[in-house]
Amino acid sequence: MRHIDLTDANALIARSEKHYADYKNKMSGLTSIAKKQDPKDGKWIYTLVFNGRLLIDGKAILSDAANNLVSAMDHIASAMARQNGVLQNPRFYCPFHTTETEFQIKLGGVTRHIGNANAAILNQHYQANRQEVIHVDALKQLANTGKHWELAVPAISPHTIGMNQENGPQKFIEIPESIFANSTETGFEFYREKEPMWDESIYLITKEEIVGLTDHHPHSPDTIFSCSTRYVKALITEIEIAGGTRPT
């Protein structure tokens, strides 16, 4: 098999990973703990602050990460086509579907462009990585929504505040979901006592999910992106092994 140039696909994967790292960094500032002393009664007040405005930036970054990874798949297929002598096809897509029947139909539609040997690699990869298919489908939904309709909303909601007490058991405070439902920046007071807390003891238990995906899809962005990235990288590895550019 002649060499397939995967430079563009690898660059897009790297770009997707960079975007997702930026997204995680941005979301790390979504919640914080504010501490102050009431000048009237001297009590210490601790408030969980939720900066929902960061979600606006997060939506765009998450969409970029998804689009780069989906584009990497399409660039793999187009690289196969170029290797097979196809000069240009601006609407060329990597065959994919969650069902075997539809995948085979889509694969058959591109086989004449990419050649039988490359089609066999795509089919083998699909069969060997079926456990990742639902995650890739969620990724493609995320990318298509971001391009054509509306940016998908990453919802990161703090559910519980945990506190390690110096001279006692752990304490947990449940946070009502309605607290941060309709506000861009607000706070939830969870402690007001005469003695300050041991600051290092406070931690948050949060839930992170993508809003708008269908129920049968995974909703955790970490799961979606880690599994989808593994799927695309595994395809590149199989191509390189078949082309003799990577040892088995």
The per-residue pLDDT for 109 is: 94
Nearest to 70 by CA among 9, 120, 128, 134: 9
- Percent of the chain exceeding pLDDT 70 equals 81
**28: confidence class by pLDDT, cuts 50, 70, 90:** confident
Residue 157 has pLDDT above 60, yes or no: no
**Confidence check: pLDDT of 148 > 50:** no
The pLDDT tens digits for 45-104 are: 988 887 777 878 888 899 999 999 999 999 999 999 999 988 777 677 999 999 999 999
Report which DSSP code applies to 87: -
Assess whether pLDDT exceeds 80 at residue 126.
yes
* Domain boundaries along the sequence of the chain: 7-242
Q: How far is CA 196 from CA 30, 134, 164, in A?
A: 24, 48, 13
